[in-house]
Structure 1
Amino acid sequence: MARLVPLTDAEGPGFEISGGLFIGRKETCQIRISGPTVSAIQCEVQWNAQHGVFQVIDRSSNGTFVNGRLMEKDQVVQLHDGDVVQLTKRWPHSPALQYRFVAPAGQVRREGTTHTGVSTSCPEETKVLKSVEAHVRDVPGSEVELPDVAKLQCTLKEEEDRAACLTEELERLRGPAVERLEEASYQAQEAEDERHRLERDLKEAKEGVFANLAMVKECEEQGAKLQHLQRNLQSLLSARQSIRQDTSRFRENAEAAWAVQSRLQQLVAEQMASTEKLQLQLSSSVFEIGTHSTDLSSSISEGQERELVACQSGCKHVRHVTKSHEPASAKKRRRKLEAGDIPTMEIL
């Protein structure tokens, strides 16, 4: 059974590829990775029954590598035993995002290459080089000098040793570099979160400032209304003081009017008493005149009797004229005075 083995756990069982294997952040993926640059579906590894090979299909937006080569989106690349699938181009040296393809038994690795793509020598190289050298030397007029096979093998061995040393050095340096990259990524993520938090706080602060400005404006409006009410209250207090002064003056005028009315009532009463006294005196005089006229009627002549009658008529006329020329208000007050009902003035 073909498998994908992570480089961080090369001795582990890995992930079996049965029909198809999806890698990404999505929950339905068989290999789920929550990296910041991993797509929902990063890539798909599947078995192509028509050609009898395993192949990888890129489904990401950040790119997928096979043996260090970047794939185009939706590109299909055939997988061989030992090929390394690298996720995303932002982490080209992260072992956590690298998987080695392990072909099932019976599938042969590509000839002449390893999983890293470096050419290697095989036992047949010496025979091939010697055969080529023999054929070249048999050609007439050929003066081509071929390098010594032993020297080439030594040089190749030295280069392989140097490549192995460089590979070991690279692997030794890769760990700290990956850690620093991951730490830098974590710090960048924290900085991004902090930036979002500061932006949110700034937005809340702006909203608070706008709310405070609205409250200040409302307070200013309330202050203006309060000043207007204070002015109205001052006007009402002034009007109240003026009303009190007018009321005081009205009371003084009413008391003066009441005093005048009392004096007028007193004068009217005195006048009525004087009038009654005069009427009584006049009545007494008329009675005396009538008595004297009766006594004298026997001794006076007819002409004198007519003069006496005229005199009596004149007295009655005088009394009638006195009563008829009396004002109506005086008559009314005289009648009330006679009845003992003297009106008083009500003071508000």
Structure 2
Amino acid sequence: MTVKHRAAIDELVSYKPGRAPVAGRPQVKLSSNEMPFGPLPTVLDAISHAAATLNRYPDFHRVELTEALARRHDVDPSQVVVDNGSGALLQVLASVIAGPGDEILYAWRAFESYPIVTAVSGATAVAVPLDDQYAHDLPAMAAAITDRTRMVIICNPNNPTGTVVSRVELEKLLDALPDDVLVVLDEAYQDFVTDLSSPCGIDLVGERPNVAVLRTFSKAYGLAGLRVGYCVTRPETADLIRKSIVGFSVSTLAQAGALASLAPESAVELKRRIGHVVAERTRVTDELIHLGVPVVPSQANFVFMPMPDGPAMAAAFEERGVILRAYGTDGLRMTIGATEENDRFLTLAAELLRRS
């Protein structure tokens, strides 16, 4: 006997995280878009200090962190909502914006949580295929808008392909939308973008009433294990989120670590680490191109290689000690790691993927 539940949940494909190393085996994990470096020293100090207060509940309203983020992005604190990861915020947004009979529009292939949050909200998913450059087809997405559309998700840079949208094309999509349809810009990898044609979504929040931007401390800041993300949007949309998030969902350690990450003394080291990823991204891409491997130019901290035998290739790499992420017959994704980890990947790529 199964308890009664919504039938749409039966159709869900559960989110599958990147494979973790097997205990006792010397493996390199390049499957989850994590930073290869541990938390900044100042962050570790802040977390250690905060640990002494764990007998107390965390700050329910995340006041210090919210105010620090508002200063960082030059917005009012009423426009910032902090929660335990940008994915949690996306789930809340989907649930408060859309429901049965409504539609949530997103590109595909994109982040695998999008169909999940849509189904959980009760809305209908409208997935628009990426274009032939593995990027969002924004004109096609504009054409897919109906009077049932309530939310549009743009993953910029896109996961897993690493492509970005231009501000010009994004403005055209925004112009095609009614002002009461929310556009969510998922900018988890924004810190790695070097393409000047791609917009900073937070700049658009002040210009458009229907834009919400999601950011995370899991990627560039290296705090994936703490689970902290935030949304920047108009105050009225932020209020909808605050009414619906779970109380005390951002731990004391997470708030302390994220706050320390924003401190001026963390900026130099953070910039160096991001610079490492960008430089290694270029090196890995160039080497793969030299090998004749198809590569999508990336603006994130990973590289996507279109290939129909992705699962078989992922298995072959894992047997040799490098864990990658396969996306069915669409391709293979490799997260940029430390230099020696990338070298190990490239050595195997010359053996397993060489096309030239």
Q: TM-score, normalised by structure 1?
A: 0.22
Structure that is richer in helix per residue: 1
Report 1 or 2 for greater relative contact order, CA contacts < 8 Å, sequence distance ≥ 6: 2
